[in-house]
Amino acid sequence: MAHRLGAFFIWGSACIGALALTAPARAQSADLVLCDRIAAEPSDPDKPADVKGVATIAPSDVATAIKFCKTASASSRRALYQLGRAYAANRQMADAAAAYRKAADKGSTSAMVDLGVMYGTGAGIAKDEAQARKLFERAAEAGNARGVTNLAAISGGASSDPVKARALLSKAAENNAPEAQYQLGLMMADGVGGSQDDVGARALFEKAAAQDHPGALERMGAFAAAGRGGAKDTSAAKTYYEKAAALGNADAKAALKRAECPYVIKDKNGKFVTNLCF
């Protein structure tokens, strides 16, 4: 979910959420397993690798998420964070803020980001951009990709310090965080905050795409179609686009449509009229 702050966007997960904590070495509790299954946030660094996560907690799952995450939160910081997500999805914003705050105090960077989004947008709590910036800084310094991008947004855009943003994203990307890999890839592809590097950008997009990151899948499609940063492969490009489109990426859907309808019809003034399909 994008929240506009001034002229920029601050990104929180849908319904303003995310997750956190390290599970014990022994088998996880059933409560934590169920909490992860229905309330984990896809980009949360604390999320178990075998859990895909959900961008938005389904309305039918909210009550169940609150029940199981609340129980699991007694011994799991990621469940505490996910409890905040569930409360936010249920519009219990005061409870969400309290859960995020406790999870952030335990080191959940996703909770720092989502609490920062609440402060930055005044969603359910008093707006406090200074507090939001502090939370984003903490998350960014810990390598959270959303922390980096939100810090850039609240500070006036990535151009305010692109070199630092790129360095922070590099740190997060090293931990195999798909969002960080994607964002860093974009900066490298455009030469923002450092040298322009199509090969490096494509490698990052490929890593994030392997983790089903919609934006990275779309970029891999574009790079493969153009032969940018590596071999040109229209078949692979189509596959990437199809995967991204299936995950809801609008640019990938548009790319697939253009491939089906490659001929552009224009009027006598050169203005676009329609695409001709075959």
The pLDDT > 70 percentage for the chain reads: 85
Per-residue pLDDT band for 83 (boundaries 50, 70, 90) equals very high
- Give 185-208 pLDDT, tens digit per residue: 999 999 999 999 999 999 999 999
pLDDT for the residue 278: 61
Q: Please give the average per-residue pLDDT across 180-186, as a whole number.
A: 91
Mean pLDDT value across the chain: 86
pLDDT for the residue 143: 83
- Closest CA relative to residue 19, chosen from 1, 41, 37, 38: 41
Provide the 3-class DSSP secondary structure of residue 196: coil
Q: Which residue type sits at 183?
A: Q
Q: Which of 28-37, 142-151, 211-220, 257-266 has the lowest mean pLDDT?
A: 257-266
CATH topology for 1-160 is 1.25.40
pLDDT for the residue 156: 57
Q: Which of 26-30, 84-88, 127-131, 249-253 has the lowest mean pLDDT?
A: 26-30
Q: Please give the average per-residue pLDDT across 254-266, as a whole number.
A: 82
Residue 41: phi, psi to the nearest 5? -95, 130
Q: How far apart are CA 20 and CA 235, in angstroms?
A: 39
Q: What is the pTM of this model?
A: 0.64
Packing angle, helices 178-190 and 214-226, rounded to 10: 40
Q: Please give the average per-residue pLDDT across 86-107, as a whole number.
A: 98
> Who wins on pLDDT, 3 or 225?
225
> Who wins on pLDDT, 32 or 12?
32
Q: Is the pLDDT of residue 47 over 80?
A: yes
Tokens of 238: 């189509």
